Amino acid sequence: MPDLIVNGVEIACEVVRAAITAPEPKTIYAQIAGRSGDVDLTTALTDGTVPYDDRDLTLNVIEARADETAAETALRSRLGQWHGQIVTVSLPPDPWRWEGRCRLTSVLARGGRLGYTMAVRVGPYRRAATETKLQVTAAASPGKAFTLPALPGDAAPVIPSAVVTGGTVTVVVGTAQAAYPAGSWPAIELLARRPGGPPLDARLVGSGSMALAWREGRL
């Protein structure tokens, strides 16, 4: 099993050190004249979900090559492919991946070895390697019932995308509903879920079908 996967490519290397900073909450406080203390507005506009700043992923990596020339060539290749670029990084056996802009520092090629520090500014959440998908075929009123699972407390908020085929369908959640003609839809707002919330029960009414997709995240 490789120690490191970058942009889907297994890297034959040794990760000497791996560190990730904890996500810093984006706190918002307001001062009101005549009131003791500040008013905490951190989750006022996020339906109770705490917003976070980006994180820093730092890896110290060593790779082996046949000789110094090969090591220098490999190092130049790493600089050209990764330095300043958006990359996805996985650290097996962890099935999740990080994504962000990469900087290579402390680069050195000597003998048959190359070493570098890989610093990646990533989002607050690590993401699943693949999307979760759900196909729902609509039915006449009251519609086809389906349930989206609850998200754990450390999960990223999720709003699924969808592809509708076979005609217009209507998503019904409680007393709210929205119609979607055939086509691709980047966000189905009625099916948004937040971490720590309950499972989401919905119905799909119409004559077509809806293919839902979302990529889960964890802190």
pLDDT digits (tens, 9 = 90+) for 170-185: 999 999 999 999 999 9
CA 111, distance to chain mean position in Å, is 38
CB within 8 Å of 56: residues ≥ 6 apart? 20, 21, 119, 120, 121, 122
> What pLDDT shows up at residue 115?
92
Six token digits for residue 179: 């119609």
Give pLDDT tens digits for 128-152.
988 999 999 999 999 999 999 999 9
What residue ranges do the domains of the chain occupy?
4-30+38-124, 132-218
Q: How many CB atoms lie within 10 A of CB 74?
A: 16
CATH number of 4-30+38-124: 2.40.30
Using CB atoms within 10 A of its CB, is residue 125 exposed (0-12), middle (13-18) or buried (19+)? buried
Give pLDDT tens digits for 105-123.
988 888 889 899 999 999 9
Give the dihedral sign, CA 84/116/108/69: negative
Q: Which residue has the tokens 């099935």?
A: 95
Report d(CA 117, CA 148) in Å as an integer: 40
Helix (H) or strand (E) holding 29: strand 29-30
pLDDT bucket at 28, cuts 50 / 70 / 90: confident
What is the CATH T-level fold of the domain 132-218, as seen in this structure?
Jelly Rolls (2.60.120)
Residue type, 44: A
- Cis preceding linkage at 142, omega within 30: yes
Report d(CA 58, CA 15) in Å as an integer: 10
Instruction: Identify which of 77, 167, 169, 152 has the alpha carbon closest to the alpha carbon of residue 116.
Output: 77
